[in-house]
Amino acid sequence: RLLFVHISVLVLQKGGMPEKIKADARYNLKLSHMLTLKEEKMKADLEAPLSPAQDDFAIRCRDVCRSYGKLKVLSNLNLTVPQGHIYGLLGPSGCGKTTLLKCIVGTLKISRGHITVLGKPPAFPGHEVPGKMVGYMPQELALYNEFTISDTLTFFGRIHGLTSKETQARMDFLIDFLHLPQKQSLVRNLSGGQRRRVSLGAALLQNPELLILDEPTVGVDPVLRSKIWQHLVEIVKTGKVSVIITTHYIEEARQAHVVGLMRNGHLLAEGPPDAVMKQHSATTLEHAFLQLCQSSDKNCVKRGSGPLEKSQSFESGRDESQPILGIGPPPAEELPKCSADWKARARHVLPKGRNIAALVIKTMVRMKRMPGSLCFQFLLPVIQISLICLCVGGEAKGIQVAVVNNDSSSPSSSFSNSVLSFLDNSSVHQVPLSHHEAFEGVYNGKYWGVIGFGKNFTSYLTKRILQRQVSKEVIDGGSVHVWLDLTNRQIGLMLQKKLHQAFEAFVEHKLGSMSYMADVPIKFEEPIYGSLNTDFTTFVTPGAVLSISFYLAVGLTALSFVLERKEGLLDRCWVAGVSSMETMLAHLFSQLFVISVQIILMLLFILLVFKMPNEGSLALVIVLIVLQGVTGISFGLVISAAIDDEQSANQAALGIFYPNLILSGIIWPVECIPYPLRYLSLALPQTYASESLRCIMYRGWGLGKMMVWRGFAVTLGWNTFFLILATVILKLRT
C-alpha cells in the first residue's frame, strides 16, 4: 500500500498529467487513508483494556435495596469487586456492611436490584455460590464450641467434598499459618482471637474462588493481621481468587486494591485507596472518609432531606460531587441473563447425601462431647414416665382419720371393732378420739374425716340383720356415720371406697355363704375390656408417653435451631452449600436416634417395671410414639422458624404445653370437657393419638378400627401441616 500511496503522490505532484489519472490518484490516497484509520482503530481496540465483560467481575451489585421491616438498610447500592482483587468495604458501625455481605452470599434476599456473584446470582440452580466456590467468614464466630479445631475443619471439608487427605493437608497449613494451637484443642477452650482465626481457617479451607470476610482481623494481633493481609495479597495474585473484606481498621484497607466507603446503606466512594485519598487531598484513608462524610452531610442539608432520603437519591448525588472513581461499568448496564436446565434445577433442590451425612456426624460428635446432656436426653423421659406411674393415680397411704367409737358392746364382740378391723390400715390410719376432739381435729385440718359408731351400733345392726322390719331409729343407730373433709375429692372418694370394702368384708365374715343377701341390687360383671382394678395411672400413661416424646422433641429441636441460627452456624453451613432441607433431614435423622432410645427405655419401664398391660401390637405402639416424636420435631421447626431467641422459643413451647396437655384428654377424659372446647380438643395432635394408643394397648385393636387409624392419620396430618408451616415461615422471613 505504501508503494501505491507513493505513486499516487508523485502523479499529483507531477504537472501535465491528465485529469482522469489525477482523480484516480486522489481516490487511491483517500482509500489508503481510510484503510489506515480502520486499522488504527482496530489496533486501538485490541490494545484498549477489555470492556467490563461478565468474567471480569467477581461481584457486581446494581441498585441493591434491602430493608428490615421499615428500616431501610441498603439503598440503591452499586458495588463492583473486580476479579482477582481485594475489595475493602469500609464504613461506620451499622451502615449495612454485614447486611450487604449476607445479600451477596444469599443468606438474605434483596428487596430490589441485582447481585451477580462469580457470574450468576447467588443461589442460582447449579451455581456453587453458596457452595464450594465461596469461603465465608461471618462476623459472629459461628463455630461449634464442643468441636476441636480438627473437627471444625473436617466438618467443613466434608461439606465441600474434600478428601480426608486434602483436608489434612489444608489443616496442617492453616494451623501453622494462622498460629493456631494444637488441632485437638476444643473451640470452647480457645481465646476470642484464636476462635476468630479458626473461623477464618474454615473460610480458607477449600481454597475458594471468592473470599467474603466480615471483620476477620478483629481481636488479632498486628503481626498476624499483617500476615493475613499478606496471605490475601498472595492468593489474589493468581487472578483467580477475589476477596471482599470488611474491617474497622480503615488504614489496613490501604493494602486492598479497591476500597468502597459506605455510609447509610450506600457507597460514598469506590476506587483504589491511593486514588480516593488523592481525590480528597487526604494523607490517610480515614481522613478521606471523613471528608466524604462531611460533604455527603452538606449535600444532604442543602437538599433539605434526611439521610434516608439522600441515600435513596444516591445516584444523582454521586453525579454532582463525583466521589466515585469509576472503575466499574455504569449502573444502567445490562445484567447477564442466566438460565439453568431442569437437571441443574433438580440437583439444586434434591438433598445431597454427603451434606446430610456431614451434619449427622456433626450432631453425633457433639453428643459424644456432651455425655451429660445425652444422658439427660435419654433418661429424662424415663424419669418423667416413672414419676407419673409412681405418683399419679395410685392409692393414698397413711390418711389420718378420727374414730369416735361409742359402741357399748364388749370390745371383743362389738361389730364396730369388727368393721374397723377390716379397714385397710396401710391407707387409713385410725385415731380413736372423743367426739369433741375428733371434730376439732377435722376443723383444724388434722384429720380427713370422722368415723362414728353410736352406742347401740352392735345391737341395732344385729336387729337389722335378723328382723324383716325395723324402725328408722334402728337403721340410723346401726349405721356407720362418716363426716368427711371433701376439699380433696380424691382422698374423700378413697375413704368412701375403703369403708365400703371394709363393710363388705365384715358382712362376708358375719354372714358367710348368706352374705349375698346384703348385696346392692346392681351387679358389675367381669369387664369386657380392662380389669376391675384398672386405676387412673392406666388411663394417664399412654397419653403421657405421647406427650413426653412430643414435647422433648419440640424443646430440643426449637432450642438447637434457634441457638444455631443465633450463633450464625445455620447461615455459615448454608453458605458452605447446605440447604435448609438437608439441615432439617439431618436433624430428623439424628433426633430419630435419640427418640428411639427414649422410646425403648420408656416402654421397658412402663411394660416391665410398672406392668402396664399391652394387649395389642408392640410395633404399632412404637410407630405411633415415633410419629408423635417426629410431629414434635416439626412443631419445633415451626417455633425455630418463627422465633429468633431461645427465651421466646422456650416461652412458646411452655405456653403451648399446658393448654395442650389439658385439652388433649391426657390427664382427664375428653368427655368431661365442655362442648365448644371439646371440638378444639379433638383437633389437637394428641387427643385422637392418645385414644388410639389406649385402644391398641388396652383393647388390643389394630389399624382396622377407626379409633386406631384416626390417631395415626391425625398425627401424620399435623406433621405435614407443621412442616409446610415451618417452610412457609422460613421463606417469608428470609
Ligand X SMILES: Nc1ncnc2c1ncn2[C@@H]1O[C@H](COP(=O)(O)OP(=O)(O)OP(=O)(O)O)[C@@H](O)[C@H]1O
CB of 92 to ligand X, least distance (A): 7
Please report how close the Cβ of residue 86 comes to ligand X at its closest, in angstroms.
18
Number of chain positions touching ligand X (CB under 6 A): 12
CB of 158 or CB of 572, closer to ligand X: 572
- Distance CA(668)–CA(485), nearest Å, equals 23
Nearer to ligand X among residue 99 and residue 148 (C-beta): 99
Closest to ligand X by CB, 133 vs 250, is 250
Site for ligand X in 201-230 (CB under 6 A): none
Interaction mask 494-513, ligand X, x per CB under 6 A: --------------------
Q: How far is the CB of 533 from ligand X (least distance, A)?
A: 59
Tell me the three cell numbers of residue 321. Answer: 460531587
Cβ closest to ligand X, residue 96 vs residue 477: 96
Which helix (H) or strand (E) segment holds residue 246: the answer is strand 242-246
Question: Residue 71 or residue 338: which is nearer to ligand X going by CB?
Answer: 71
**Considering the complex, what minimum distance in angstroms separates the CB of residue 569 from ligand X?**
16
Least Å from the CB of residue 102 to ligand X: 8
**Residues 203, 84: Cα–Cα separation, whole Å:** 17
Q: C-beta of 73: minimal distance to ligand X in Å?
A: 4
Q: Which parts of 54-73 interact with ligand X (CB under 6 A)?
A: 68, 71, 73
104 or 399: whose CB is closer to ligand X? 104
Nearest approach, Cβ of residue 630 and ligand X (Å):
30
CB of 246 to ligand X, least distance (A): 7
**What distance in Å separates the CA atoms of residue 282 and residue 666, rounded to the nearest whole number?**
75
Closer by beta carbon to ligand X, 94 or else 222: 94
Nearer to ligand X, 97 or 257 (CB): 97
Residue 546: name the closest of 623, 485, 481 by CA.
623
Strand order in the sheet with 57-68: 71-82, 57-68, 112-117
Residue number with CB closer to ligand X (99 or 583): 99
Report how far apart, in Å, the C-alpha atoms of 591 and of each of 158, 382, 488, 586 are.
21, 17, 42, 8
Picking from 131, 126, 99, the residue whose alpha carbon sits closest to that of residue 115 is: 99
Task: Report the residue number, 102 or 362, with the smaller CB distance to ligand X.
Answer: 102
- Look at the block and give the residue holding cell 463455630: 143
Residue ranges of alpha helices (H) inside 446-568 are 457-466, 472-477, 489-511, 536-566
Query: Which CB, 95 or 641, lies closer to ligand X?
Result: 95
Q: With respect to ligand X, which residue has the nearer C-beta, 71 or 716?
A: 71
Query: What is the three-class DSSP state of 482?
Result: strand
What phi and psi values does residue 5 have, to the nearest 5 degrees? -65, -45
The x, y and z cell numbers of residue 40, run together, are: 488504527
The enclosing H or E element of 230 equals: helix 222-236
SS3 61: strand
Q: Would you call the peptide bond into 130 cis, given omega within 30 degrees of 0 as the criterion?
A: yes
List binders of ligand X among 94-133 (CB under 6 A).
94-99
C-alpha cell at 218: 478483629
CA–CA distance, 603 with 382 (Å, rounded to integer): 9
Q: Look-up: residue for cell 434445577? A: 345
Q: How many CA atoms lie within 13 A of 405 on its CB side?
A: 18
DSSP state letter for 55:
G
Please state the closest distance from residue 336 (CB atom) to ligand X, in A. 27
DSSP 256: S
Tell which one of 75, 78, 116, 139 touches ligand X (CB under 6 A): 139
- Distance of alpha carbon 154 from alpha carbon 171, whole angstroms: 8
Q: How far is the CB of 95 from ligand X (least distance, A)?
A: 4
Q: Least distance (Å) from ligand X to the CB of residue 642?
A: 14
Three-state DSSP class for residue 177 = helix
**Distance between CA atoms of residues 570 and 576, nearest Å:** 10
* Residue in this structure with the C-alpha cell 378413697, named with its chain if needed: 494
Shortest distance in whole angstroms from residue 69 CB to ligand X: 7
Q: Which of 503, 572, 639, 515 is nearest to 155 (CA)?
A: 572
> Rounded to the nearest whole angstrom, what is the least distance from the CB of residue 268 to ligand X in the complex?
14
106 vs 131, beta carbon nearer ligand X: 106
SS3 (DSSP) at 80? strand
Which parts of 80-99 interact with ligand X (CB under 6 A)?
Answer: 91, 93-99
Element holding 62 (H helix, E strand): strand 57-68
Minimum CB distance to ligand X, residue 540 (Å): 44
8 A C-beta contact, residue 568 and residue 140: yes
Between CA 728 and CA 373, with CA 720 as vertex, the angle to 5 degrees is 90
Residues 332, 328: Cα–Cα separation, whole Å: 11
Measured from the CB atom, is 314 or 688 closer to ligand X?
A: 314
- CB count within 10 Å of CB 321 equals 14
Residues found near ligand X in the complex (CB under 6 A): 68, 71, 73, 91, 93-99, 139
